[in-house]
Structure 1
Amino acid sequence: MRRLFLAIALCFGSALSAPAQEMQQILQIHADEVSKPSRKSVGALLEDLSASGLPQVTEFLEEWAARNVWKRDDGVFFIATAQGDELSLRDIDTGDQTTAAKSGFTNLKPNGGVRRVIGTALVQFQLEDPDLNRRETAVVSIARRPDASQLAPLLASIDGEPDAALKARKTQLANFLTARFGETPEARIAAIESLSEDTSVEARSVLNQILTATPGVATTTPEGNIARILDPGQAPDAFYDLLVEAQLAPQLTPPSVIRAALEDNIQDGLVGGIPLVQLSSNASRERAYAQLSSDGIVPPLVTAATRDTALSLHVFYELYAEDDPTITDAAQTALASVEQRVGVAQTVDLALDGLSLASIYFLAAIGLAITFGVMGVINMAHGEFIMMGAYTGYVVQLFIPDYTISILVALPLAFAVTFGAGVAMERLVIRHLYHRPLETLLATFGISVALQQLAKNIFGTQARPLTSPDWLDGAWVFSDVIQVSYIRIAIFVLALIFLTLIVFVLKRTRLGLEVRAVTQNPGMAASMGINPDRINMLTFGLGSGIAGIAGVAIGLYAKVTSEMGSEYIVQSFMTVVVGGVGNVWGTLAGASMIGFLQKGIEWLNPSNTLAAQTYMILFIILFIQFRPKGIVAPKGRAAAD
């Protein structure tokens, strides 16, 4: 069979000097093979089709495998599809279409084995088909079911491949096949060594297939390419089961069998010559059973001691399916190198995930850091400002279908909406509760519940979509291990922009100067003509507006619901407290610490994210015990409070 496919590959690409034949003529010569094919007889037909060089060969094989070839009563073959009692016929050579009654035709239905042979041969034809889609389909088919017969035609098709991407894929796939099915050990080892830098799943799969080993047991160490000698002492029962399966040892006699045998052979208060009153221990029951066994009444007794003796008399091993040890040694070395690279890549990927999560927490917490740090207000409704920003983005998309424009409009609009809501909240509620933290906490918690219910009344309880633009779809793929979604990259960039803007506002503008003055000494700031009441109002509005923008960013990948803010309020407070109250750089440090810590714990315990969050909170509690003022200690009024 392999010689057949090599012949197909060698003959397909070149024009022959023999007179041109029509496809129908070739099929008539092999009419029996077409009508009633078998895996053995179909080879001659495939060889002649390959040698013909006819362009319609590929299509015919596809239709034949799909059972769309029909034979007319006079022996002529057609490609046809049934339409009720009629057939829509297509001439195999000219492609002319006609219709005819189904009664004069027979549908040819090759069995599964023949279709597999046709499919394998079809791949060889498709590799050099003028149609790019067919060539790509052939490569996908080879990758899905690699076989030694596919290596030669795949190599032959590489040089003439006009598409650069497909040529690279063919080269990579040929390297995989050479590593497994190369004709010489030298060629295989060279291909295996080239895989030592390939961290793809396919490359690792190829190496693992080369290193496939099967367990075995023998009385002496067998010949062959031994992968490893196993120690039966680590799991004696499991290894003894291998002996039993290999019929090299009898099964252990379980206590239930011993007890049943003793009960069935009680005579005059004795069993095996031992009084019943003495059968209170396992050792005495085994002695009685052994006596019955020596009398030929019950099968032989097989105990743990028998098991251990049998294990010591046998060798347990794993034998490579690959006979050549030089090839398996090269595969082991390459796989060790790949696993090391994969470990490094996983570390980088985990760090990128932590950085992405830190960006999200920073956006969610920076507004809270401003209000909590400057004003000392515990705003439990901060999460609802995030929710309001997300819903603002959703409403904008209802009116602006272009997602890119809608996001650009939603960001400033969300800031305006939540800025106004924050100012209103400060003027109506917060200003009356300064220096009363418990009342502030209860009031803002009540406002958060009211805002959630208001959102449910307006938008319902179902999640609403906040669709990202097409250019944010997908991910930036570095390798099979490292990839970052474009949305998270955009959120990271947005976090950097906000960090720059906030630092600029606080350090380079009059508002920032007044905010810092009020933060450090509100009495002195008031004596210098600064209105602390106005600064508190603007500061609270600024923090709320930033939360609204964060809501738009978070809503691009998270569900937009009335409860979405509550999912970030705890992390936001932890970020602010751990980083240092009222400090932008402290918030950045806190977000980074919590983001990386959470991803690290999730990596250690991936099956339980709730437990990971619990461990993270416990760690933060311990951290605050040793550094109660956070990573970056606050100054001014926040420090005094």
Structure 2
Amino acid sequence: MAQTDAEPGESTPAATTEFETLVQALSKGSLSKRGQAIKALATVNDERVPSIIEALQQGNLYADRDNPPTVAIDTGKDKFIDALSGEALAADTAEKLKRIPINNRMRGQLRTLLAAININHAQPDRRLNAVKQLMSDGVDDESIELLKTRQSTEPNTKVRDAITIAIALFNVESEDPAARLDAIALFSGSLEPEVRTKLTALAANDDNKDVRNKAQQALNAIEDRIAVYRFGENVFFGLSLGSVLLLSAIGLAITFGVMGVINMAHGELMMIGAYTTWVVQQIFPNQITYSLLIAVPAAFVVAGLVGIAIERGVIRFLYGRPLETLLATFGISLILQQAARSIFSPLNRAVSLPDWMSGSMEINPVLSITYNRFYILIFGLVVFFVLMMILKKTSLGLKVRAVSQNRSMARAVGVRANWVDALTFGLGSGIAGIAGVALSQLTNVGPNLGQAYIIDSFMVVVFGGVGNLWGTLVGAMGLGIINKFLEPYAGAVLAKVLVLVLLILFIQKKPKGLFPQKGRAAAD
């Protein structure tokens, strides 16, 4: 409806007084008078108007019987804010509130008014959302006029294209076959779900053969585009799963690949990192972003120290005895799980996501990328390359490589092999703790968190090549993508089984993995 020339969000004192009067009038009188107040409210230039109209449409607008009445918006979980001031209401005030009733006819009126306000909003995103809402609700005789009026003045290409599709959705209902054919031509390449629904109905039920054929052709073209985006989505989710496998396997690649230690407690070191994240967040409950940044080094240190204690207390006595090492670390894993149950209880703990990791980035109606998985993918690659730099460019990395390739010669030139073993195990354990930080952003934290990833981690290390970090990267991403492409056909559980079978067949041909070690270490 009509808007004043003032900028959105600005309001004069007179407009503010009129706004307050109209909002309070929503709770009084008959439905017809309420409808008149709604129409008048829509003409007021105030940034609070859309939220009030939307709350009324969704049944979230309340008022009491005072004079003047208190009008409030239900924000969920029995919490109310004053519709005029935006301040939270006290519990005793909220108890007196009653929902402002509306009928179905008024809901349609509110929907049109809300679209009319937003379709002329200064922000293109708000205008685009208004057009999409009209498409979702169904374009009628009243809203089509709004769309046609806006189409002639719309400067944004994306919004203008959406308006064109919305008008075509209206025209495709025409009794004239030529008009329906023209509308179908405008649908070409559109990924909006309403377009596909309409084309499916036309291709199956339209009386005109030409319309049915054109609708089917347009639908086929859209399905081809969707298949391309679905492929890209599978690749992204495969890389996302691969980044999780990379983080969980990269520490194992050091302890198992470089040191030859089969550490069945590796998953519990990831669990320790996840619980460290939760504890840090409890210490800083109002600083979610900073608590996550603090949790990364904290988890590395805590899990690393636990790893060093395990190596010094148990594993150093079992080098060269893989079966005893496996049994000992399996026992340690049970001890750590029970310790977590005793300290934190068996219940899962939820770790809050920072705002910048919440939600998703919508590329188009059929493809969106979740921010938490995207950032974890980047995080996993950063951890990988930092670890590569440590092993290639630092004194510790040089000693680790020397001990792993020829322990006797390393000792002969003065390398303290025992301490290198402890620090190497601590490094791998610390990275497992960092993996736990990442996992806490994807799932709840519990005593059995690491058990879901230990087998997959060993599969990644073996597939990529024992002791080769580049092989771990390729193996993690490869197994992640393969798993995600198999899931739609075989299901999540059977997909894992098929991946395991394929890995066994692969190892029969290449026992040392994709990138086998070279030199003396390979000969051992």
TM-score with structure 2 setting the length: 0.76
Change (3 A) 1:573 1:180: same
Aligned match of 2:461: 576
* SS of the residue 2:172 aligns to: helix
Q: Does residue 391 of the first structure (1) align with residue 275 of the second (2)? A: yes
Q: Work out whether residues 261 and 325 of structure 2, in 8 Å CA contact, stay in contact via their aligned partners in 1.
A: yes
Structure 1 residue 369, shift from structure 2 partner:
0.4
Change (3 A) 1:179 1:351: farther
Q: Which has the larger radius of gyration?
A: 1
1:420-569, aligned counterparts within 5 Å? 420-569=305-454
1:201 partner amino acid: P
Structure 1 residue 462, shift from structure 2 partner:
0.6
1:156-555, aligned counterparts within 5 Å? 156-159=148-151, 168=160, 171-172=163-164, 174-182=166-174, 185-211=177-203, 213=204, 320=205, 322-401=206-285, 402-555=287-440
Q: C-alpha separation between the residues in 2 aligned to 1:492 and 1:36?
A: 54
1:616 partner amino acid: V
Change (3 A) 1:496 1:142: closer
1:623 partner amino acid: F
Q: C-alpha separation between the residues in 1 aligned to 2:330 and 2:251?
A: 17
Percent of pairs identical after alignment?
Answer: 41
Change (3 A) 1:510 1:87: closer
Q: Work out whether residues 464 and 474 of structure 2, in 8 Å CA contact, stay in contact via their aligned partners in 1.
A: yes
Q: C-alpha separation between the residues in 2 aligned to 1:579 and 1:484?
A: 27
Q: Work out whether residues 234 and 485 of structure 2, in 8 Å CA contact, stay in contact via their aligned partners in 1.
A: yes
Q: C-alpha separation between the residues in 2 aligned to 1:141 and 1:536?
A: 61
Aligned match of 1:629: 512
Gaps of 5+ in 2: 4-29, 45-52, 70-100
Q: Work out whether residues 151 and 178 of structure 1, in 8 Å CA contact, stay in contact via their aligned partners in 2.
A: no
Structure 1 residue 177, shift from structure 2 partner:
2.1
Change (3 A) 1:637 1:412: farther
1:196 partner amino acid: S
Structure 1 residue 425, shift from structure 2 partner:
1.0
Q: C-alpha separation between the residues in 2 aligned to 1:493 and 1:337?
A: 34
1:624 partner amino acid: I
Structure 1 residue 540, shift from structure 2 partner:
0.6
Q: C-alpha separation between the residues in 1 aligned to 2:339 and 2:394?
A: 37
Picking from 496, 499, 502, the partner of 1:616 is 499
Q: Work out whether residues 583 and 634 of structure 1, in 8 Å CA contact, stay in contact via their aligned partners in 2.
A: yes
Q: Which moved more, 1:326-335 or 1:572-581?
A: 326-335
Q: Does residue 585 of the first structure (1) align with residue 470 of the second (2)? A: yes
1:38-49, aligned counterparts within 5 Å? none
* SS of the residue 2:187 aligns to: helix
Q: Work out whether residues 148 and 177 of structure 1, in 8 Å CA contact, stay in contact via their aligned partners in 2.
A: no
Structure 1 residue 323, shift from structure 2 partner:
2.7
Structure 1 residue 143, shift from structure 2 partner:
3.1
1:381 partner amino acid: A
Q: C-alpha separation between the residues in 1 aligned to 2:422 and 2:41?
A: 78
* SS of the residue 1:476 aligns to: strand
Q: Does residue 153 of the first structure (1) align with residue 145 of the second (2)? A: yes
2:308 partner amino acid: V
1:409 partner amino acid: I
Q: Work out whether residues 42 and 117 of structure 2, in 8 Å CA contact, stay in contact via their aligned partners in 1.
A: no
Q: C-alpha separation between the residues in 1 aligned to 2:413 and 2:148?
A: 85
Structure 1 residue 183, shift from structure 2 partner:
7.2
Change (3 A) 1:432 1:177: same
1:335 partner amino acid: L
Q: C-alpha separation between the residues in 1 aligned to 2:473 and 2:129?
A: 49
1:379 partner amino acid: N
Q: C-alpha separation between the residues in 2 aligned to 1:482 and 1:138?
A: 20
Structure 1 residue 373, shift from structure 2 partner:
1.5
TM-score with structure 1 setting the length: 0.63
Change (3 A) 1:635 1:531: farther
Structure 1 residue 566, shift from structure 2 partner:
0.9
Q: C-alpha separation between the residues in 1 aligned to 2:202 and 2:116?
A: 29
Change (3 A) 1:137 1:337: closer
Structure 1 residue 350, shift from structure 2 partner:
0.4
1:407 partner amino acid: L
Q: Work out whether residues 467 and 517 of structure 2, in 8 Å CA contact, stay in contact via their aligned partners in 1.
A: yes
Structure 1 residue 129, shift from structure 2 partner:
5.2
Aligned residues: 448
Structure 1 residue 163, shift from structure 2 partner:
10
Q: Work out whether residues 366 and 584 of structure 1, in 8 Å CA contact, stay in contact via their aligned partners in 2.
A: yes
Structure 1 residue 489, shift from structure 2 partner:
1.1
Q: Which moved more, 1:337-346 or 1:148-157?
A: 148-157
Aligned match of 1:266: none
Q: C-alpha separation between the residues in 1 aligned to 2:129 and 2:233?
A: 32
Q: Work out whether residues 127 and 157 of structure 1, in 8 Å CA contact, stay in contact via their aligned partners in 2.
A: no
Change (3 A) 1:126 1:466: closer
Gaps of 5+ in 1: 1-8, 14-34, 38-45, 67-79, 89-109, 214-319
Structure 1 residue 397, shift from structure 2 partner:
0.7
Q: C-alpha separation between the residues in 2 aligned to 1:403 and 1:626?
A: 48
Q: Deviations over 1:476-520 (max 9, x none)?
A: 221222222111111111111112112111222222122212222
* SS of the residue 1:483 aligns to: strand
1:594 partner amino acid: L
* SS of the residue 1:478 aligns to: strand
Change (3 A) 1:359 1:55: same
1:364 partner amino acid: S
Q: Work out whether residues 406 and 521 of structure 2, in 8 Å CA contact, stay in contact via their aligned partners in 1.
A: no
Structure 1 residue 157, shift from structure 2 partner:
3.7
Structure 1 residue 638, shift from structure 2 partner:
4.8
Q: C-alpha separation between the residues in 2 aligned to 1:116 and 1:140?
A: 21
Q: C-alpha separation between the residues in 1 aligned to 2:225 and 2:351?
A: 38
Q: Work out whether residues 355 and 595 of structure 1, in 8 Å CA contact, stay in contact via their aligned partners in 2.
A: yes
Structure 1 residue 459, shift from structure 2 partner:
0.2
* SS of the residue 1:581 aligns to: coil
Aligned match of 2:483: 598
Q: Work out whether residues 168 and 186 of structure 2, in 8 Å CA contact, stay in contact via their aligned partners in 1.
A: no
Change (3 A) 1:141 1:616: closer
Q: C-alpha separation between the residues in 2 aligned to 1:374 and 1:336?
A: 53
Q: C-alpha separation between the residues in 2 aligned to 1:542 and 1:36?
A: 70
Q: Work out whether residues 378 and 440 of structure 1, in 8 Å CA contact, stay in contact via their aligned partners in 2.
A: yes
Q: C-alpha separation between the residues in 2 aligned to 1:585 and 1:36?
A: 70
Alpha carbon RMSD of aligned pairs, Å? 3.8
1:395 partner amino acid: V
Q: C-alpha separation between the residues in 1 aligned to 2:301 and 2:31?
A: 77
Q: Work out whether residues 251 and 432 of structure 2, in 8 Å CA contact, stay in contact via their aligned partners in 1.
A: yes
Q: Work out whether residues 466 and 560 of structure 1, in 8 Å CA contact, stay in contact via their aligned partners in 2.
A: yes
Change (3 A) 1:151 1:410: closer
Structure 1 residue 475, shift from structure 2 partner:
1.2
